[in-house]
Structure 1
Amino acid sequence: MEGLAMTVVHAESPRVRDRLARLGLSVEAIEDVLRRAEAERSFCTPLDPVSLPGNIFWGRTIRFLRETYKPVGWTSISPSNVPLLLAPSGDFAITASSGSAETGYAALTPSTRYPKGNAVMKRVEANRQLLLFGEVETEPEQQDAGDGIPTWFLLYHHSKTDQGTRLHAELSLPNDTGSRGKISSWYERIILPWIDFEGFTPFVDDVDDDQGAIDIPIERLS
């Protein structure tokens, strides 16, 4: 994107751990969150609604992130119904989203799996303004908790393996809203180790609520 540097990608273990530590996070805690979310997702069967496994994984990822980090000063907020985990400093927030098949691969560029609604896109536009200009123009009376700060996305993607399911994930900071509602431009990406799950039927073709599904997706006109 014009005016922004190329994407910064952290993929090797020392760099990943150092960058997460500077955000107040850790590989182990995030992996534990994802494992717990997957455990709950695995209770679904083919008789459940097709959207249920994805909804459960997304919702439990949000919940377990909050449960993990609230005791150490993070805050649970949901401005405009976007579920966020707000850092103790108040300088940034984290949400979760399913990603495309490129998620978790340093050499590829992922996107969110599904289009986002207006509330999520406003947060990404705020990221863009902060990265370009260092400020976000908002009306004081319209500003909610967590507005006007960078929002990171914990992206995840399930793929099939011969033994079950492999979960790829990354914590990434978007810098543009992209096209057709899918976020596909990133300022910084922190690639997390993949996780293999064995012994149960994978659900990799389901859909999820993925915060903002009830919003009307927006598209920038050329």
Structure 2
Amino acid sequence: MLPLQIFTDDKSTDKLAHLGLNVDDFIYAISRAIYESRRSSPLHPRTDAMTRGWSEVVAAFRESVLSDQRGWNYTRSDGLEFTINSSLGLSVIITSGDKDTGRVDGFPKTKNSKGSATENLVSANCTLELFPSNSVEMSDGHDNSIDSTKTYVLLYHFDLGENEVRCELSLPGGMSGMDGHNKISHWMERIILPSVPFSAAITVPEKEFNEEIEIEISRK
């Protein structure tokens, strides 16, 4: 496995800028998710608050990065929700993480186990890091083209004890688990983002979308 790089403070800001992103994109998305999760009541299913939170993180993050001309768009593939910047060769998926999420000295994992689609993108990330030319020569002399899109994961964790949500944008590089219950557990890059207090919850008026903006991507 490739060595881990951790970015904090100004280095995080610089790294995000290189990825066509900024800290406010994430603070806005998490703040919206905090508000949405609070709309769940004891009468809702037990998992409702976290489901609402995840859905709102995805929607608000997309709203933030699509609001100006930075080249971001979104798509769905193999059951995963991607926010993608084709010109930069980057995509982002969003999922909850464990208690180590956002802690510089932690070893975070995804909260829930992931399927074959996630395993494929993690494998593609590792191949891209080893072969950045986007193709590798096979033993039979033929080129084997690979997907040129790196996929980062926005990990977030609702810490009820600390009354905050910790988050990070990280590049997955490995999974582990037992009996097919694999979680992303190894990272090649971790961009530590500011924690967002529960008091920062925000809401905005609902907007109508008359036309869906979506692109299709296929992984080679």
Query: Same-fold call, TM > 0.5?
Result: yes
| Corresponding position of 1:123 | 121
| Corresponding position of 1:24 | 20
The letter for the 2-side match of 1:63 is A
Are residues 1:50 and 2:74 paired? no
Whole-angstrom CA distance in 2 between matches of 1:91 and 1:62: 19
CA deviation map 1:112-135 (0-9, x unaligned): 011001112211111111112334
| Corresponding position of 2:130 | 132
| Corresponding position of 2:213 | none
| Partner SS, residue 183 of structure 1 | strand
CA deviation map 1:43-69 (0-9, x unaligned): 112221011111111111111111111
Please state how far the C-alpha of 1:29 moved relative to its aligned partner.
2.0
| Corresponding position of 1:197 | 198
| Partner SS, residue 127 of structure 1 | helix
Please state how far the C-alpha of 1:161 moved relative to its aligned partner.
2.9
TM-score, normalised to structure 2's length? 0.78
**Gap runs ≥5 in structure 2:** 137-144, 202-220
Q: 1:199 to 1:95 in 2, by over 3 A?
A: closer
| Corresponding position of 2:6 | 9
The letter for the 2-side match of 1:193 is P
Q: 1:48 to 1:68 in 2, by over 3 A?
A: same
Alignment of 1:25-174 (within 5 A): 25-71=21-67, 72=69, 73-134=71-132, 135=134, 147-161=147-161, 165-174=163-172
The RMSD of aligned alpha carbons is: 2.2
CA deviation map 1:164-201 (0-9, x unaligned): x210000000111333410000000000111111499x
**Gap runs ≥5 in structure 1:** 138-142, 201-222
| Corresponding position of 1:184 | 185
Whether the 8 Å contact between 2:28 and 2:64 is mirrored in structure 1 is no
The letter for the 2-side match of 1:182 is K
Whether the 8 Å contact between 2:4 and 2:187 is mirrored in structure 1 is yes
Whole-angstrom CA distance in 1 between matches of 2:77 and 2:129: 21
Whole-angstrom CA distance in 2 between matches of 1:89 and 1:199: 33
Whole-angstrom CA distance in 1 between matches of 2:92 and 2:119: 14
The letter for the 2-side match of 1:55 is T
Identical-residue share of aligned pairs (%)? 31
Matched pairs, number: 187
Whole-angstrom CA distance in 2 between matches of 1:46 and 1:24: 40
Larger radius of gyration: 2
Whether the 8 Å contact between 2:125 and 2:150 is mirrored in structure 1 is yes
Whether the 8 Å contact between 1:100 and 1:111 is mirrored in structure 2 is yes
| Partner SS, residue 176 of structure 2 | coil
Whole-angstrom CA distance in 1 between matches of 2:31 and 2:81: 20
The letter for the 2-side match of 1:170 is E
